[in-house]
A and B are shown apart, each in its own frame.
Chain A
Amino acid sequence: MIAALLGGVLIGSAALLFFALNGRIAGVSGIIRNFLFGKERLGSMLFLIGVVAGAGIFYALGGSTPVARENFPAWLLALAGVLTGFGTALARGCTSGHGVCGLGRLSPRSLAAVATFIGTAMLTTFVVRHIFGVS
């Protein structure tokens, strides 16, 4: 519980630092799209390398690593990935851009986005886990 709160504070601090010094919003989906198709490819790549290295440092210090689910259908996970990419591009933000940064800026767009994707995700998880019994 304390780790979750502290991790959140670090994520928020990263977003604040990025905004105050570089003037950019630390939204991961936007940064991935900038890296793939945008103009600020080098800067975006640096941020993404940082994300991977930051998680890597935590794992190197003995933090628990994510474990793959044994019986989760690959096609379903692939569908999830495509929807997440397409959806966050269309909405121009994900949990970091609309969640961490947008809510912090009191943006009405971001509040609407967060309420929509959390609500939809809860409903989807219910259907996938409890109606189709996949987990």
Chain B
Amino acid sequence: MSGIVTLIAGLLFGFGLALSSMTHPQVVLGFLDVTGAWDPSLVLVLAGAVGVTLTGFYALRGLKKPLLADAFSVASSTKIDRPLIAGSILFGIGWGIGGYCPGPAIALLAAPNQELWIILPALLVGYALHEYLIGRRSK
């Protein structure tokens, strides 16, 4: 049952990404390029998404455990530490260059073009590098 929910959540997520044009790096870069012909799309996507999660998470705040699992699996740390900021800077550079965050890079499998064969393997190499250089130590 929880597997079906996972699949449906993924479907909604992917459809939403494509509908909002976040799968198009040109639209994302159009938002990030504040000195160019600014495209506010990403603000609306984030506003729509965070509007739902903000009200939803607030409404669910009394929920002791998820409906189909034993416990919530949520990061409890509130510390703003160096890995958080350094990682976000590295991600910002990557995102600002190519216009792909991880979701759109995966969703590109649904409409493969020549950028897919570069961005997706490179993304996975980035994860593997982290896993072998840092991941094992921090676990």
> Across the interface, do A83 and B80 meet the contact criterion of CB distance under 8 Å?
no
Residues of B within 8 A of A124 (CB): 32, 92-93, 95-97
- Among B48, B68, B125, chain A packs the most CB atoms within 10 A around the CB of B48
- Give the residue of B13, B60, B125, B127 whose beta carbon is less than 8 angstroms from that of A19: B60
Measured CA separation A36–B30 after assembly (Å) = 32
How many contacting A-B pairs (Cβ < 8 A)?
A: 479
- A84 nearest CB across to chain B (Å): 4
> Across the interface, do B50 and A99 meet the contact criterion of CB distance under 8 Å?
yes
> Across the interface, do A84 and B126 meet the contact criterion of CB distance under 8 Å?
yes
Residues of A within 8 A of B102 (CB): 28-29, 32, 84-85, 88, 94-96
> Across the interface, do A80 and B5 meet the contact criterion of CB distance under 8 Å?
no
> Across the interface, do A58 and B19 meet the contact criterion of CB distance under 8 Å?
yes
Chain B's closest residue to A96 (CB) is: B103
Given A7-B21, A125-B29, A81 contacting B122 (CB threshold 8 A)? yes
B-contacting residues, A77-135, CB 8 Å: 77-92, 94-96, 98-101, 103-109, 112-114, 116-130, 135
A: which residues have CB within 8 A of B? Answer: 1, 3-26, 28-29, 32-33, 36-37, 42-43, 46-59, 63-69, 72, 74, 76-92, 94-96, 98-101, 103-109, 112-114, 116-130, 135
CB-CB nearest 7 A-B residue pairs? A50-B10, A85-B126, A8-B48, A7-B20, A81-B122, A104-B53, A54-B14
